[in-house]
A and B are shown apart, each in its own frame.
Chain A
Amino acid sequence: MSAILQGAGAGAAAALSPFNSIDSNKLVAHSRSSLSVRSKRYIVAGSDEGTNKSFGSSSLIARRSQPLMIPNAVAATKADTASSSTPSKSGHELLLFEALQEGLEEEMDRDPHVCVMGEDVGHYGGSYKVTKGLADKFGDLRVLDTPICENAFTGMGIGAAMTGLRPVIEGMNMGFLLLAFNQISNNCGMLHYTSGGQFTIPVVIRGPGGVGRQLGAEHSQRLESYFQSIPGIQMVACSTPYNAKGLMKAAIRSENPVILFEHVLLYNLKESIPDEEYICNLEEAEMVRPGEHITILTYSRMRYHAMQAAKTLVNKGYDPEVIDIRSLKPFDLHTIGNSVKKTHRVLIVEECMRTGGIGASLTAAINENFHDYLDAPVMCLSSQDVPTPYAGTLEEWTVVQPAQIVTAVEQLCQ
């Protein structure tokens, strides 16, 4: 069970709802008061992914009974199966793409400057239905169907952001944003700096990426590895309906340009999320399954492969800690570091290619910062450095499978 909280001001943990057991040793409160600019109170709930199913799993929800402002406490329990879950008192079930839509719609209701632009976002409702119904509600200018010109409409979104709007730019597939690299690198990432801080670019660039089901090489790209060096942008990857909605809202509210990576295969994940408003912290990682023996760092779809492997590993007597890093740039070195200091072994499981991926950067960061705490070299499981083949068997072999994760853990824990 994990709860990720966002709040302003220091405070102790509030009383928790009964079906939540909190190990107070694991409660870490940090003072972030100097930085938080939000005076609004949030009720924040966490979600847990503890089953071995990739899709359709229901999750355990922790609810705080009072809306207290708790600074970024990470509470963790040992429970890792959903079978003992008690249904939450309120909350509604939805699919991940609906969660994204809900987050987007709430932000568009809240601030009339938030608008959407992209191909087929309007009348078509979005190629993955994330913007379904929004054009009917908000009009064709607020949910803008663009022609097929990624570079120009991304730049247009940036120009609009510079002049006061808050566009959410959709790449129909993240791979298409390769065409917008000029704008993303030069204007999105760097313009705030080259203008001496005069212009802010509060855009959100989002879309589905990752390896799907035989979509072919060009539709199966992982652009997070290409964008990670661009200074001035933040990158987050959502993996559950809960964090999808929370990250979408946080990204829209952020003054920084944020790239939100969704995954083609995760849009139909079902989960129950709180009715109350919440947002997730853009810079924080998510504790998925606490453990003692080894830290598994992962994100997006590989989270589910890691959790599937975790089930096998538990049966074999291992106790893996699984962390969904969520924030691809910057890395949450605090959560990661605490974990490394506890387990002394790190396995990174990612979908990026071996060369130059997020895993490669994360390996370097961990070696630099936590070298003394490691009992074994950091191992990184990534996709093969090949264009993703169309054939199903070949495609399966390019990405990391749960069996490989199990083998790697066994190897590291010898």
Chain B
Amino acid sequence: MATAFAPTKLTATLPLHGSQENRLVLPIRLAPHSSFLGSTRSLTLHSSRRLNHAHATRRSPPVVGVQEVVKEKKSINSLLITKEEGLVLYEDMILGRSFEDMCAQMYYRGKMFGFVHLYNGQEAVSTGFIKLLTKSDSVVSTYRDHVHALSKGVSARAVMSELFGKVTGCCRGQGGSMHMFSKEHNMLGGFAFIGEGIPVATGAAFSSKYRRDVLKQDCEDVTVAFFGDGTCNNGQFYECLNMAALWKLPIIFVVENNLWAIGMSHLRATSDPEIWKKGPAFGMPGVHVDGMDVLKVREVAKEAVTRARRGEGPTLVECETYRFRGHSLADPDELRDAAEKAKYAARDPIAALKKYLIENKLVKEAELKSIEKKIDELVEEAVEFADASPQPGRSQLLENVFADPKGFGIGPDGRYRCEDPKFTEGTAQV
């Protein structure tokens, strides 16, 4: 292809709606129960905030409040999921929750160290998005990445071993809690600095587009980037929104807005706290969804993923969610209101899904119980496996620094340093 981007195309207005039939074009309406509770003030929602259809066709892509979508669907008596799907979602969320609870136990028993950030309460976002992806789609996360890795298919054993710092960990014990990577499952990390994963995700999406448009391969892979509300004040976020929209990269930006960046309330840090609005500023749809409800998240995710696969470009999805535990296991979590915590605990995504499945007679209680038991055993087994695994030996110290160890250079004796036997023992000076 001689020129993928003719200059004129770059300045044309973006096609905003894609295929009209499937578009959920609704006026934006944030229902009262989704008002944010902050410890300093509440966000009052203006009921007059509606998106004019005329405006939607002008420049900003439509934004969708998903509560209405779900209500509409329910009212015509069709269910959002089948039984099989329901069980998959339930199992994934239970896995996430049990695993994180076990992490807390193991941390306080001195089996893992450092910074460990748990995902309790946010399972609906991970499950809602990642269970729609294929193995070759990519996921990029932050330091709160255990559950993203698990949802993507990395085994509990591999993640637990990594947390214990054992060789059998998914990163050979070299990464730790904040660096969960899996080439096999296309989990591209695990990043310690917030925001630094978003460009990586943009690059993975760029690869997909490159494969399709330059290498002429059949590539429909999408990338989902997860990050928090704090990250949405970081420059890398905006730089990537711009590039992704500019080149219509197959990426979904998922904001896990849990209202708190360690001890900084989102409302105290952000001039305009409604993050979904920042999507249209860059020319992509911005969607706000109740992140405590896995079915709502899933519906939005389906739309966003389909958009990306069709080559229509990125979507910004803001999931209103909450973390039940502190920022990390070292965080005393003193700043958050007890009332706020209680409010969100009542919206526990696992309890909500359970209620939905049982009320709609999709499953029986016993089936759910057996899933919980199975997961309990799985997580126990993962701990046993991690406990029994060996710690890395000295010889591992210098491995994996370079893909090509010639990068350590040539020593005084004329040989490459990596040829030195001490190198493989890990005792060489490099």
Give chain A's interface residues, CB within 8 Å of chain B. Answer: 28, 30, 32, 34-35, 112-113, 115, 123, 135-136, 139-142, 146-147, 149, 151-165, 182-183, 186-187, 191-202, 231-234, 254-256, 282-284, 327, 329-335, 337, 369-370
Contacts and interface: CB of A to CB of B under 8 A. Distances in A.
Contact of B403 (A152, A164, A192): A192
Given A139-B214, A196-B174, A369-B412, A191 B203 contact: no
A162 B188 contact: yes
Interface centre among A198, A282, A369 (most CB of B within 10 A): A198
- The range of chain B's interface size is 35 or more
A159 B243 contact: no
Given A28-B414, A369-B412, A159 B206 contact: yes
Contact of B171 (A156, A164, A198): A198
23 contacts: A28-B414, A32-B416, A140-B3, A141-B214, A151-B199, A152-B198, A152-B199, A152-B239, A152-B240, A155-B202, A158-B200, A159-B188, A162-B200, A187-B191, A192-B401, A195-B189, A199-B181, A231-B401, A232-B407, A255-B403, A256-B402, A283-B407, A330-B410
A26 to B, nearest CB: 14
Nearest to A370: B412
B334 interface: no
Contacts of B413: 334
Given A152-B236, A183-B196, A330-B409, 18 more contacts: A115-B214, A141-B209, A142-B214, A155-B236, A156-B243, A162-B203, A163-B207, A165-B206, A186-B196, A187-B196, A192-B402, A194-B190, A195-B183, A196-B170, A196-B175, A197-B400, A254-B404, A256-B402
B419 interface: yes
A154 B193 contact: no
Contact of B175 (A34, A115, A194, A234): A194
Interface in B180-228: 181-183, 188-193, 196, 198-211, 213-215
Contacts of A194: 171, 174-176, 179, 181, 189-190
A192 B2 CA distance: 34
B411 interface: yes
A271 to B, nearest CB: 26
Contacts of A162: 188, 200, 203-204
Contacts, number: 217
A334 B204 CA distance: 40
A186 to B, nearest CB: 6
Contacts of A201: 403
B135 interface: no
B164 to A, nearest CB: 14
B403 A330 contact: no
B248 to A, nearest CB: 11
Given A146-B243, A159-B206, A160-B203, A141 B4 contact: yes
Interface string B412-424: 1111111100000
Given A140-B4, A149-B239, A192 B416 contact: no
A37 B272 CA distance: 55
A112 B198 contact: no
A209 to B, nearest CB: 21
B285 interface: no
B169 interface: yes
Contacts of B412: 333-334, 337, 369-370
B321 interface: no
Contacts of A142: 210, 214
A182 B193 contact: yes
B430 to A, nearest CB: 8
B407 A155 contact: no
Given A156-B203, A163-B207, A192-B400, A334 B411 contact: yes
Contacts of A284: 410
Nearest to A369: B412
B7 to A, nearest CB: 8
Contacts of B174: 193-196
A165 B214 CA distance: 11
Contacts of B199: 151-156, 158-159, 183
A327 B410 CA distance: 10
Contacts of B190: 194-195
Contacts of A334: 410-414
Given A35-B419, A139-B2, A139-B4, A156 B169 contact: no
A369 B410 CA distance: 13
A333 B235 contact: no
Nearest to A189: B401
B193 A199 contact: no
B5 interface: yes
A195 B171 contact: yes
B181 A327 contact: no
A313 B418 CA distance: 39
Contacts of A165: 206-207, 210
A161 B211 CA distance: 13
